[in-house]
Amino acid sequence: MELSGKVFAITGAGNGIAREVTLQLLAAGARVAGIDVNKAGLAETATLAGDQAAGLSTHVVNITDRTAVAALPAAIIEKHGQVDALLNVAGIIQPFVKINELDFAAIDRVMDVNLNGPINTVKAFLPELLKRPEAYILNVSSMGGYAPVPGQSIYGATKAGIKLMTEALHSELKGTNVHVTAIYPGAIATNIAQNSGMAMPANADEAASQFKMTSAKVAGEVILDAMRHNKYKAFIGSDAKMMDFLVRLMPERAANIIYKQMGSLLG
């Protein structure tokens, strides 16, 4: 897909990977409708865009609010005249505890943001995308969507759901003008815990040091490259690529490797 001149709706644009994708798309000549529940985060993204902020509109919307999401396509079309792509990047992690210790309020919140939110946006935007000469849906899953991380069981379940939904969408939309890509980030240097409102365990930095962190800038570059080449899927980081291989080749050993690296976070 040619990016210049297209209009991209991006969830989570107030921080992290989605912010970086927003800035890189603007630099590539695209226009962006940045969507986030965090008004201040969106304002900061607009500031970072500098002179290119003229191509950015900001929309303070909670993607778990189905009624508000349903109104987004019309609002974006009113602002930009069209909408050519939906990028579901927003996501949160759960408290780093075993499922037996995870309360239902935390479970429901992660399920709503990570799974129901993208379902809401896909349902809202797909009718408009099908009208465009060429369009795109890109959903960000996670290494945790195919590799089990202890203490992130519900998060992983939501990302596995995004993985399969995206693959099914790809099949359903064959023969149409809408391209579909799934993205699988590994460990990315963002503030996802802080943005999720989660306090990390005291030894989290020590556990994280075992992983090579990929920058948000590189993550954005991978996502733009995936769209330019209409890729079926793309991995961000050598850890995501390696674990995908190990999970398919020897799943129990892969699970044991992850447990050895991350299990200490559970006490």
pTM over 0.75: yes
Q: How confident is the model over 202-225, as a mean pLDDT?
A: 77
188, 240 in Cβ contact below 8 A? no
Q: What is the pLDDT of residues 131-157, one digit of tens each?
A: 999 999 999 999 999 999 999 999 999
Active site residues: 155
Give 3-18 pLDDT, tens digit per residue.
Answer: 999 999 999 999 999 9
What residue ranges define each of the domains in the chain, with the CATH number in brackets?
Answer: 7-266 (3.40.50.720)
Characterise 211 by phi-psi region: left (phi > 0), alpha (psi -120 to 50), beta (else). Answer: beta
Instruction: Kindly tell me the burial class for residue 154, based on how many C-beta atoms sit within 10 Å of its own C-beta (0-12, 13-18, 19 or more).
Output: buried
